Amino acid sequence: MHFDETDKKLLFFLQQDAKQTTKELSYKLGLSITAVYERIRKMENTGVISKYVALLDRQKINRNFIVLCHIKLAQHKKEYVLQFEKEVMNLEEVTECFHVSGDYDYILKIGVRDMEDYRNFMLSKLTTLQHIASTHSSFMISEVKNTTAIVL
């Protein structure tokens, strides 16, 4: 899909605050309310905008202990990969999972209360998944950048 400058600005504004009204956006963009509505609708229908979400403050919900866990599978058989991916989808502590190249097969971003909570997660959930050969965990010291915005 081709994006003109107005589309890019519109997407920028929506990524900053998706609860803005079409009227507010039309004022910022210098377009009619109908024109803004139609642009948004087109981007939703084509899948450019896939969903709207509420971003939570991890500190306020007591999930600010962030772990990046590198996972190595025992083998790279298709059935092992698919089973691991299916099982990791059910782990509510895992907020992101990436299949990667290099020394490890996956990187998981995990949000828990504290080190004890992470230990319990490892013992009762993660290590019960089949086909995991090894794990390596890194713990967040501070968050330098965290954004969901994609600039076009």
Distance CA 138, CA 109 (A): 10
Residue 90: predicted pLDDT:
97
Full residue range of the structural domain in which residue 66 is found? 59-139
Residue 149 pLDDT exceeds 90:
yes
135 with 68, same domain: the answer is yes
Q: What is the pLDDT of residues 63-120, one digit of tens each?
A: 999 999 999 999 999 999 999 999 999 999 999 999 999 999 999 999 999 999 999 9
Residue at token pair 């995991």: 132
Sorted by sequence, the CB contacts under 8 Å of residue 59 that are 6+ apart come out as none
Residue 69: predicted pLDDT:
98
Domain count, the chain: 2
118 with 66, same domain: the answer is yes
Contact 123, 135 (CB under 8 A): no
Sorted by sequence, the CB contacts under 8 Å of residue 10 that are 6+ apart come out as 25, 29, 36, 39, 40, 43
Residue 1: predicted pLDDT:
81
